[in-house]
Copies of this chain bind each other. A is one copy, B any other.
Amino acid sequence: MTDLSALETPAVLIDIDRVESNLRRAQDYADQHGLKLRPHIKTHKLPRFARRAIELGAVGITVQKLGEAEVFADAGIREIFLPYNIIGARKLARLRALAQRINISVTADSRETVAGLSATFADAPQPLNVLVECDTGMGRCGVQSPAAALDLAQVIAASPGLHFGGLMTYPAAGKVEQNAAWLAEAVDLLTANGLAPEIVSNGGTPDLWRAHEVTAATEHRPGTYIYMDRSQVARNVGTWADCALTVLATVVSRPTEDRAIIDAGSKALTSDTLGLTGFGLIEAYPEAVITGLSEEHGTLDLSRCTDKPRIGDTVRIIPNHACVVSNLFDRVHLISNEQLVETIEVAARGRVD
């Protein structure tokens, strides 16, 4: 074990005890409510944490890109859900190659997407499992009504090479009732039309602990829950003590009494605010505000701090959004009891396509 002060900054630290606790808490919750868990790996991009979630009871993983699916398939994960419209000859060929070695499911929200999938899988040995993506309030992808969900489900069910697998949504945070009502209506409508969905997949960490209120859902896909972050603490989904990912940074300048500059900028923390003021919480100086980020500089307002960091001090930052930080670092440091355990590559970092 090595002391953390030996690490160069900026660096990402992952507290593996907090990870374990976060994984268990969510699995226990899901088990208690008879929900399946299909965690999203976008937050960590690390096969070992996917394997651990599955050991604890997760039914598989969720990814957002073919490139991520390929990395996790290479790492031995056999059950992967890719809730995305896969479009274009090259991506469809990659999807078919993946389907030859793992169980992979995808989503569609249009006839165009379904047509491409069907053309690709019409002569495949096994049909591709395709869920209908539903816009239950997020305003992103998804069919716009339960009637449209039925319509597309019928198209999928009638398409060569495809199997209608159910419904999927990424809901708007905080709109649990609206999401639940939408899905319940859709399930009723599909069931009445002989297409009862096997899977109804709900997602997101913001409303993870209310997932059981979405009674039509058979499973949940949380992502950020494994690390938590400042935005989730702001929503009371987790506490500061649950936050497993921190960015270690060094104070490189104290130009004025009330200003400090750290060596973590937008290339370490990203510009994501998620509606919050400031770009993260400095653990040892919670009154400090990270008021601005350049690529390699973070600017701190220390005016409310009684104690203030000095040049050369290291600080630990809980970022607004943990997932995007994982995508910026080639390596992360696993820690336990404030000691370095191991430094590992972020296997699926930067898998953009």
Question: Which residues of A line the B interface, CB within 8 A?
Answer: 6, 8-11, 42, 64-65, 84-85, 87-88, 90-91, 109-110, 112-113, 116, 135, 139-144, 250, 252-256, 259, 261, 263, 266-268, 270-273, 292, 294-297, 299, 310-312, 323-324, 327-330, 350, 352-353
Residues of B within 8 A of A8 (CB): 88, 90-91, 353
Return the chain B residue nearest A253 by Cβ. Answer: B141
Residues of B within 8 A of A42 (CB): 295-296
The reply to whether B266 and A324 form a contact with Cβ atoms under 8 Å apart is yes
The reply to whether B271 and A64 form a contact with Cβ atoms under 8 Å apart is no
Copies in the complex: 2
The reply to whether B352 and A299 form a contact with Cβ atoms under 8 Å apart is no
The reply to whether A87 and B327 form a contact with Cβ atoms under 8 Å apart is no
Residues of B within 8 A of A324 (CB): 266-267, 295
The reply to whether A353 and B113 form a contact with Cβ atoms under 8 Å apart is no
- Contact partner of A253 (CB less than 8 A), chosen from B109, B328, B329, B330, is B109
Return the chain B residue nearest A88 by Cβ. Answer: B250
A326 to chain B, nearest CB (A): 10
The reply to whether B352 and A329 form a contact with Cβ atoms under 8 Å apart is yes
The reply to whether B295 and A141 form a contact with Cβ atoms under 8 Å apart is no
Residues of B within 8 A of A261 (CB): 140-141
A197 to chain B, nearest CB (A): 20
The reply to whether B353 and A9 form a contact with Cβ atoms under 8 Å apart is yes
Bound Cα distance from A144 to B109, whole angstroms: 57
Bound Cα distance from A270 to B270, whole angstroms: 7
Residues of B within 8 A of A113 (CB): 252-253, 311
Bound Cα distance from A268 to B353, whole angstroms: 10
The reply to whether B312 and A135 form a contact with Cβ atoms under 8 Å apart is no
Bound Cα distance from A311 to B85, whole angstroms: 10
Return the chain B residue nearest A327 by Cβ. Answer: B267
A271 to chain B, nearest CB (A): 4
18 new A-B pairs (CB below 8 Å) besides A266-B324, A270-B270?
A: A11-B353, A65-B296, A84-B296, A85-B253, A88-B312, A112-B311, A139-B299, A140-B294, A140-B297, A141-B252, A141-B255, A141-B297, A263-B353, A266-B270, A267-B324, A267-B352, A271-B273, A329-B352
Residues of B within 8 A of A141 (CB): 252-253, 255, 261, 297
Q: Could you list some 24 contacts between A and B, CB below 8 A?
A: A9-B353, A10-B352, A11-B352, A11-B353, A42-B296, A64-B296, A65-B296, A84-B263, A87-B252, A109-B255, A110-B253, A110-B311, A112-B311, A139-B259, A140-B294, A140-B299, A141-B261, A141-B297, A142-B253, A144-B255, A266-B270, A266-B324, A271-B271, A330-B352
Residues of B within 8 A of A88 (CB): 8-9, 250, 312
Task: Identify the interface centre among A144, A255, A299: most chain B CB within 10 Å of its CB.
Answer: A255
Return the chain B residue nearest A68 by Cβ. Answer: B296
Residues of B within 8 A of A327 (CB): 267, 295, 328
A299 to chain B, nearest CB (A): 6
Task: Identify the interface centre among A261, A324, A352: most chain B CB within 10 Å of its CB.
Answer: A352
